[in-house]
Each structure stands twice: as structure tokens, then as C-alpha cells.
Structure 1
């Protein structure tokens, strides 16, 4: 299983358009990017590839990394930075199966699958596959399991991707705070590679109107506001999940420049074979 991090940034990415903060300037100087979130997973055994989320930066990401176009995809939730790149598949593919959760979101009155189908009904190539969380489905020769996570006010899902032949496992938290249920954690546990949402370091929680939540025993917030994990929360979760290797993603440009590119924060273009 070959994993390529196409997009490791948050909603605005790094560098952020029009921003001259030290972190964005350092990213420009070092020619580093964190575009909007997306992950490419290639099953090299059978020559197929799976895309997790459709970044608005889809075109740039695929041109830059030269990875194969997807044979199938998963959408974790309907926020624009994870979904609005789907239109880029027009005239690129003859067909595409998109898997998304079948649970109704109380906020929208639709499941993620229903929203994807209605928003992109003009894409004749698209086949939306409603998927029940916690029930593994076979996609591109891989076992994929969606799990609910905590990203209020809308539903969001993490996922585990396992190769049934080799036992390799990739876990992705999705956009979430630290309060992931035990049942979801059980599915995500023991990955060879964990991609964990870590939008900012914990010390920036004092600048959020809602502050921080889910403090550790030393009073360090593991959640920033209510929607995302802090760096410290993501690292704590990785330890609890017994991750062999962890990369922190969905990273904002608010990290101070001297922290923004330190381990284990990811940048676009990283590849892993597991």
C-alpha cells in the first residue's frame, strides 16, 4: 500500500493567500506547501488507487505528485475543503464510485452520501455508494471501514484502510476533536501509519473564543475550540491507538514559524509504503 499525502493543510492552506505571517513566508522560502486535505492510497498489488476526500486543490495536487487518477474514492464529510474538488473529475474519468456514510446528519437532513449525490448530480460518471459506518467494504482490493468522529455541528468520519493480503493498515482520524468514541478508536487502533488532525498547538487555545477542551492531566488542551485536535491531542491519541508511525495533518498556518515544520507535522508530497 503506497500512501501519498496530496494535501496536509486546513481550510486556507499554507501558505495562505494574501498572508505574510512568518510561517507563510517561511513556507514560500522553503518551497513547502500544505494544500487542502486529500490522501491518495495505491494498492500496488492490483494496480488500483483510492482517493480520500476531494480537495479544491485536486488539479494541482495530481499534476504535482503525478499519482494515478483514482479508481474509487471516499468522502469523509461535506465541508468544501474536503468535497469541492470532486467537480475536477469531469472529463478526466469515465466512471467513479464514491463511498460516503449513509447516516442522516441532523443538521442537513441528509447523509453525506445523499449530499454528494445531489450536489454533483451533473456528473454522469459518478456512482455514489451509501456506506454504513463500522461495516467494512471492499474498495480497490482494500478493506475500508468508516467510523464516526466528533466534528460538530456536522457529522464527519474517520476511516481505517487495511490490505487483507499483507495486513498493512492506514488509519485517518478525519476532522475531529479528541473525544472520539471507544468504538471508533477500536477500529482505528494499531495502524502502521496514522494521519491525525492537528490544526494548531495547544498553547494557541487561549486565542479561540471557546478556548480549549479535553485537557490532559497537566491541563494541556487536546481539543482546539470544539472541532479539531491540538498537536498535543493528536500525539496523545496516536499513543493511545498504538500507531507505529504518525503524521499530523489538517495543519493551519497559525503554528509559529519555529514550530510549523517540526516533526511529526506533515507537508504535501510525503509518501509512505506500508
Structure 2
């Protein structure tokens, strides 16, 4: 399995428009964060989790020439608003793009991208097939994916486990039974917004506490805001098996 972090930033990205803090002015490429997304390659298949507003830029940067499915964690715009750019894959692959998400999320996509689902469709719009998922394992092209139910304040969202890799973003609470689905993962990517507590995201200390309990071989933090601090300085404070994620980071399992 090859995993690429396409984006590791919060909903505003880093740098934040108009901000002059030291993180937003940093010249370290690891402090430049597009909206959060991940690409997974396994058994010759290509899957992306979430298509935020930077989707086009991300797939161009990583030269992702094929895409077999797009999976959504939840319906917030920083995770969905790049959906229109799957058109390129429709043209190249000559087939509809499978979209996987909860029924609630797919209904939101129908509202926000109404032109895709209209009875009278304009030529050249994205072509999709919708596949509702529940909190039960499902398959994409023979790859088993296990949803992990987590809470993003009051909004239920999904993380996902594929083999020994678990990916959980936009979370401030994981129930014990859902935590057990993650346990045993060799690599975990987990939400950590900033050092201070937040109403709908793990803080740095909260994320570290969860990871120290789970003890994966490697863990990477994502959905990081400019308030986290400089990448190089934050990493010095972390346990050795936990690193800050950064855009373009590649992991092999």
C-alpha cells in the first residue's frame, strides 16, 4: 500500500489569507498546507478520501493519472467542494466515477452539485455513480474498507481503515468500540488542529493521548491549523513514533 497525504491543512489552509503570523510567513514547505485529503494505492487501484477545494492542484502535483473511487468522510465544503474536477477522470477513463459516502452526505452532494444530478444534463458535466455506506465494512474493487464512526462536535463522520492503515480526520471524540476498530493499525493518520482545545477537533495533546494508547508503529497528525506552530518546532516536542504530516508525505506499508 502506498499512501500520499494530498493535504494536511484545516478548512482555511495554511497560510491563512491576510495572516502575518510566523507560520503563515514560513518558507518551510512543510508549513504550506492545502485542505485535507489522502490518496491510497493498493493492488493496482487508486482511491482518494475527500475532494476539497484544492483537489485539482493536489492530483496534478502528485501526477495521479487514474482514480477508481472517491470516498467522503463527511459533507463539509473543505472535504467536498473539488468534486467537479473528477471530469478529467471521466474523460480519460471513459466511465462514471464511483462516489462512496453516507446517505446524508450523498444527499448533500446532490444539493450542492445539483447540475450533476439534473434530469436535463449539460454536456461535459461530471458523471458519477453513488454508493451509500453505513458503519459496516464495504468493498471497492476488491479492497475492504472499514468505516470508523467518530464525532466532529455533534456531527457524526467517518474515518476509515484499510488493512493496517487508519485515517481519521475532523474528530473530537471516538467511542471505545470504534477505537477498537483502529487498534492494531501499523500506521494511523489522526486529526490534531492546534495546541489549545477546540469544540470539534482534537487538540495536539488529545491526539497524542489517543495515539499513545493505540501505539501504532507510526502516526502522523493532519488537519493542522496555523495555530499549531512551526512544523520543525512542534515535531521536537512529539514522541518519536508521532510526526506531523505534511503535504506530499508518502508512506509505504
User: Same fold judged by TM-score > 0.5?
Assistant: yes
1:187 correspondence with 2:181: yes
Aligned residue for 1:68, secondary structure, equals: coil
**CA-to-partner distance for each residue in 1:137-195, whole Å, 9 max, x for gaps?**
11133211112211123221111112xxxxxx110122101x31112111111112101
Q: What is the rounded CA distance, in whole Å, between the counterparts of 1:151 and 1:97 in structure 2?
A: 25
Relative to the length of structure 2, the TM-score reads 0.86
Aligned residue for 1:145, secondary structure, equals: strand
Q: CA deviation at 1:117?
A: 3.5
Query: Contact 1:37 / 1:82 at 8 angstroms: preserved in 2?
Result: yes
Query: Contact 2:36 / 2:52 at 8 angstroms: preserved in 1?
Result: yes
Judging by fraction of residues, say which structure has more helix. Answer: 2
1:199 correspondence with 2:190: no
5 Å matches for 1:48-197? 48-93=45-90, 94-102=95-103, 111-123=104-116, 125-133=127-135, 135-162=136-163, 169-177=164-172, 179-197=173-191
Q: CA deviation at 1:58?
A: 0.6
**Residue equivalent to 2:123:** none
Question: Is 17-26 or 72-81 further displaced after alignment?
Answer: 17-26
The alpha-carbon distance between structure 1 residues 81 and 8, as it changes in their structure 2 partners (threshold 3 A), is same
Q: What is the rounded CA distance, in whole Å, between the counterparts of 1:8 and 1:35 in structure 2?
A: 6
Relative to the length of structure 1, the TM-score reads 0.80
Number of aligned residue pairs: give it: 233
Aligned residue for 1:155, secondary structure, equals: strand
**Residue equivalent to 2:201:** 228
Aligned residue for 2:75, secondary structure, equals: coil
Aligned residue for 1:228, secondary structure, equals: coil
Aligned residue for 1:55, secondary structure, equals: coil
RMSD: 1.7
Q: CA deviation at 1:118?
A: 3.7
Aligned residue for 1:237, secondary structure, equals: helix
Aligned residue for 1:259, secondary structure, equals: helix
Q: What is the rounded CA distance, in whole Å, between the counterparts of 1:91 and 1:268 in structure 2?
A: 22
**Residue equivalent to 2:36:** 37
5 Å matches for 1:219-258? 224-257=197-230
1:259 correspondence with 2:233: yes
1:269 to 226, 236, 248: 248
Unaligned runs of 5+ in 1: 103-110, 163-168, 206-223
Q: What is the rounded CA distance, in whole Å, between the counterparts of 1:225 and 1:30 in structure 2?
A: 26
**CA-to-partner distance for each residue in 1:201-243, whole Å, 9 max, x for gaps?**
1xxx3xxxxxxxxxxxxxxxxxx22200011111111122231
